[in-house]
Amino acid sequence: MRITGIRLQQLRLPLDPPFLAAWDPSPRRTFEATIVRVETDAGLVGVGSGDTMAGFDDYVQGFVGRDPLAIGRHARALETISFHAGRYWPLEAALWDLLGQACGEPLARLLGGFSAGVPAYASWGSLKDPGQRAEDAQALVSEGFRGVKVRIAPGRVDDGVAVVAAVRAVVGDTLEIIVDLNQWWRMPGDVARGFGPVDARRVIERLREFGVLWVEEPLPAVDVAGMRMLREVSGVRVAGGEMAGTFDELRLALERDALDVLQPDVVLALGVSGARTLADLALRRNRWFTPHTWTNGIGLLANLHVCAGVGGGPLIEFPYDPPGWTPARRDFMLAEPVTIGPDGLLRVPEAPGLGVRLDEEAVAFYARAAGDPVAVR
């Protein structure tokens, strides 16, 4: 089998009303997604999505004409490219999708087949008041979710702690509570002051009484020693690494005991290949592996396959914050949005590969809205 072309389509979904994510400097009025299709002379087409793939045109010739299943080679090539250009991991996910299709097996089975699914936690993205969040949390319990992620922003710590208290008061122990401080990395142009180790320690000490499952990204990536200090003095698990720039950034964080929970997103950081290897290292060190999934339904599925395949968990992130962030918005390019079962389990699709079914009409429509598709041959 040979790669005959790699086609990118940039989609843009208008968001009306807009959605204000806690980590964004301003409200999102559009939601962008880039679809990667790897076309082959066998007629199989692998699909991936996640990072923007901006600038990939300069590197496409390094892949066209080659065997798509030589994924070890391609993952290594993408790693070297990422030093100079973008994080083109959606291409690698599309190659794994092709491998699954060629074998007639879901990707999770090729990665170890550890479980058929992972219990989901709802990942809220916006900041709301405690009364609203108490109501929202009760709805999550009735929908089957096993946990919820709350955002706490610097400068609004009292509000964030009040949300955690209100949620715990209404859900008791029926829902795990996760808190994300979103300090490891920044959105482009964000120069606002964040948490230092002293600030983060104060926040975590206030959260401890509410029995949070983990605190996520309390400090910038550079402060590995600070993260280790936080987990050691608080006894609260520290998580991070969703957007790590390199495999070794997370390997070193793991070796230096900075993290209890490793979270590289396979379509934004490390790829499927790197994340699988890191997951093995983490699990063998008695740490957790559960990837970030906050892109779109294709990215969510890619991460689910890795998490379920290697035996990650105990929960997996399900971006969900209605009415602002719904499966319909998140998965607007899919024939059916990805959903959890009534038992709260996010199940691995049974179809070969990633199990992505595109809504080609929606793809064509929203690609037009974003401008002409970028065809790369």
Binding site for Mg ion (CB under 5 A): 180, 216
**How far apart are alpha carbons 351 and 353 in whole angstroms?**
7
Closest to Mg ion by CB, 216 or 331: 216
Closest to Mg ion by CB, 226 or 352: 226
Judge contact between 299 and 53, C-beta under 8 A: no
Residue nearest to Mg ion as judged by C-beta position: 180
Q: How far is the CB of 217 from Mg ion (least distance, A)?
A: 5
Q: How far is the CB of 241 from Mg ion (least distance, A)?
A: 9
Closest to Mg ion by CB, 180 or 321: 180
Give a three-class secondary structure readout of 247-309. HHHHHHHHHCCCCCEECCCCCCCCHHHHHHHHHHHHHHCCCEECCCCCCCHHHHHHHHHHHHH
- Which positions ≥6 away from 232 have C-beta within 8 Å? none
Q: How far is the CB of 151 from Mg ion (least distance, A)?
A: 9
Judge contact between 262 and 255, C-beta under 8 A: no
Q: Which amino acid is at 222?
A: V
Q: How far is the CB of 153 from Mg ion (least distance, A)?
A: 13
Closest to Mg ion by CB, 273 or 293: 293
Q: How far is the CB of 182 from Mg ion (least distance, A)?
A: 6
Closest to Mg ion by CB, 180 or 223: 180
Q: Does an H or E element contain 133, and which? A: helix 130-143
**How far apart are alpha carbons 12 and 325 in whole angstroms?**
15
